[in-house]
Amino acid sequence: MTNREAYRIKYSKIATERMKNDQCPSCGKPKKEWTRRTDWRCCSVECTKIFDKEHDQSLHWDWVRSRVFKRDNYICAMCRQRFVIVPKHPDFKGEEYADSSQLICDHIVPLAMDGAMWDMDNLQTLCIECNKIKTAEDLKNIAVYKKIKVKKSKHRTFKDVYTKKQDITQNK
């Protein structure tokens, strides 16, 4: 089961590779040469500042949620009703905003069924009432999914049994 996350930090390929190789993700200096604690992300305060500026692409759930609402034009995927607020204040110039008190950003494939948390293709806009209906359906599907998963984990294939028998006979 996938765990819920409030945010996810996106690293560049270079930074990811450097971190795997025990290097500063910003400058590439090996951890053996650091003068600061090696359990920190970067070798210095300067590198940390640079790294934070370059990697300020982190995903926050509120941001993703608002993008999904905007992408779906504030329309519930099930009942097709549109939920918007148009503030009457002159500074807003007639812009529309999601009536987020009525909308839910829903995972199409639930996290409990190994759905992707941050994949925009796995997210949809639902109103509160439709979300209740979908959640009830999801709970039934999750129960079936878990039963199948347990059965598969308990069920040994012929290959598993054969390999274990070979190991036992070779060890004698």
pLDDT per residue over 64-104, tens digit each?
Answer: 898 999 999 999 999 999 998 877 777 767 677 778 889 99
| Alpha-carbon gap, residue 138 to 26, rounded angstroms | 43
128 lies in the same domain as 143: yes
Distances (CA, A) of 119 to 12, 21, 67, 122: 18, 28, 12, 5
Token pair listed for 69: 């609402």
**Quick check: 165 pLDDT over 70?**
no
pLDDT for residue 156? 58
Neighbours of 2 (CB within 10 A): 15
| Alpha-carbon gap, residue 131 to 153, rounded angstroms | 31
| Alpha-carbon gap, residue 123 to 132, rounded angstroms | 16
80 lies in the same domain as 137: yes
125 lies in the same domain as 94: yes
pLDDT for residue 122? 94
49 lies in the same domain as 64: no
92 lies in the same domain as 147: yes
User: Looking only at Cα atoms, what is the longest distance across the chain?
Assistant: 85
The region of weakest confidence among 7-11, 13-17, 106-110 is: 7-11
The region of weakest confidence among 19-23, 53-57, 110-114, 166-170 is: 166-170
N- to C-terminal Cα distance for the chain? 40
Q: Residue 29 is part of which domain span? A: 7-54
**Quick check: 107 pLDDT over 60?**
yes
Token pair listed for 92: 């807003």
**Quick check: 164 pLDDT over 70?**
no
Please check whether residue 171 lies inside any domain of the structure: no
pLDDT for residue 159? 55
**Quick check: 106 pLDDT over 60?**
yes
Q: What is the mean pLDDT of residues 107-132?
A: 92
Neighbours of 142 (CB within 10 A): 16
pLDDT for residue 146? 87
20 lies in the same domain as 40: yes
Please check whether residue 1 lies inside any domain of the structure: no
**Quick check: 160 pLDDT over 70?**
no
Token pair listed for 169: 């006979």
72 lies in the same domain as 147: yes
Q: Does the pTM of the predicted model rise above 0.95?
A: no
